[in-house]
């Protein structure tokens, strides 16, 4: 390229005494073709894009959302308005049937992204959005927050579990099943007492009808049904739950859950209460 420029500069430079080059006034036909053809290509691509965008988000009409997902720093609140089921960091859906999600944010902008099932969509405070989510086959589909939202953005994972129709009904039933508010077992009763007296309920709703529960942190009812703790940072096992409660910041630096100092007896009782079958 540089070589041909040099050649053209040397070959066609102004010669002393040479006549001025002839002036021409454009070529209307060439200009029409060179403008018209690209315009046509862009118009065709635009029409295809419009069609594809319309197909990716079919009309919602006045249909109410099946699931309301709220992004928090750094976890996902998941609510099923029809059944009243509440969970976190895990969405169960029936395979083969599209479900309508409403996405909200409790604090900053997050982004819901489960690559195999749906397009990305921002969760913007004050502006709920809706999206269809569909899995053709049963399975577990991994997703994550895809918009930087603070320290622990990377540990804001979400799992979509697509169940067969029967398994989905079973999950809804298990998640709805009332947990006795006053356990008769003394270990569980102690765990419930720790939950309410050591301020767990300042941020979490607990199993059973725990008094004073709030939704600043994940709802912990039916916790044993979930695969992970801390939005994906640990597998949900009683041993990991102990590690998590002892020092959440060591496992997920920056997490908004404070450390609560408990005796090993209190810890064992609390975990038994939270992970009870």
Binding positions for ligand CUA, rule: CB under 6 A: 71, 74, 110, 145, 147-149, 153, 156
CB of residue 153 to ligand CUA, shortest distance in Å: 4
Residue with smaller CB distance to ligand CUA, 117 or 231: 231
Separation between Cα atoms, residue 58 and residue 55, nearest integer Å: 6
DSSP 85: E
CB of residue 102 to ligand CUA, shortest distance in Å: 17
Residue with smaller CB distance to ligand CUA, 117 or 274: 117
Residue with smaller CB distance to ligand CUA, 144 or 266: 144
Look at residues 98, 102, 95, 111 and name the one whose alpha carbon lies nearest to residue 80.
102
Look at the chain and count its residues.
277
CB of residue 156 to ligand CUA, shortest distance in Å: 4
Separation between Cα atoms, residue 58 and residue 69, nearest integer Å: 19
Residue with smaller CB distance to ligand CUA, 77 or 147: 147
CB of residue 125 to ligand CUA, shortest distance in Å: 12
Indicate the burial class of 150 (C-beta count within 10 angstroms; 0-12, 13-18, 19 or more): middle
CB of residue 260 to ligand CUA, shortest distance in Å: 25
CB of residue 112 to ligand CUA, shortest distance in Å: 9
Residue with smaller CB distance to ligand CUA, 72 or 192: 72
Exposure of 86 in the CB half-sphere (CA atoms within 13 A): 16
Residue with smaller CB distance to ligand CUA, 149 or 229: 149
Separation between Cα atoms, residue 110 and residue 146, nearest integer Å: 7
SS3 content of the chain, % helix, strand, coil (to 5): 35, 20, 45
Tokens linked to 165? 């129709």
């Amino acid at each position: 390229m540089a070589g041909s420029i040099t050649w053209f500069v040397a070959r066609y430079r102004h010669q002393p005494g040479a006549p001025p080059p002839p002036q021409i006034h454009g070529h209307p036909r060439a200009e029409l073709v060179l403008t018209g053809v690209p315009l046509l290509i862009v118009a065709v691509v635009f029409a295809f894009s419009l069609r594809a965008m319309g197909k990716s988000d079919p009309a919602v009409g006045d249909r109410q959302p099946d699931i309301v997902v709220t992004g928090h720093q750094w976890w996902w609140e998941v609510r099923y308005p029809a059944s009243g089921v509440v969970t976190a960091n895990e969405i169960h859906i029936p395979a083969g049937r599209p479900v309508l999600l409403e996405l909200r944010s409790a604090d900053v902008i997050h982004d819901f992204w489960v690559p195999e099932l749906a397009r990305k969509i921002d969760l913007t405070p004050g502006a709920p959005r809706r999206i269809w989510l569909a899995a053709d086959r049963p399975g577990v589909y991994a997703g994550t927050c895809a918009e930087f939202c603070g320290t622990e953005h990377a540990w804001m994972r979400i799992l979509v579990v697509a169940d067969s129709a029967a398994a989905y009904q079973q999950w809804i039933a298990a998640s709805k099943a009332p947990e006795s508010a006053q356990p008769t077992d003394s270990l569980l009763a102690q765990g419930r007492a720790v939950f309410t007296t050591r301020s767990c309920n300042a941020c979490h709703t607990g199993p059973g009808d725990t008094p004073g529960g709030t939704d600043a942190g994940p709802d912990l009812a039916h916790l044993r049904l979930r695969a992970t703790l801390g939005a994906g940072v640990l597998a949900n096992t009683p041993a990991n739950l102990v590690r998590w409660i002892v020092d959440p910041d060591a496992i997920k630096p920056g997490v908004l859950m404070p450390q609560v100092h408990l005796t090993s007896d209190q810890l064992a009782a609390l975990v038994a209460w939270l992970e009870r079958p």
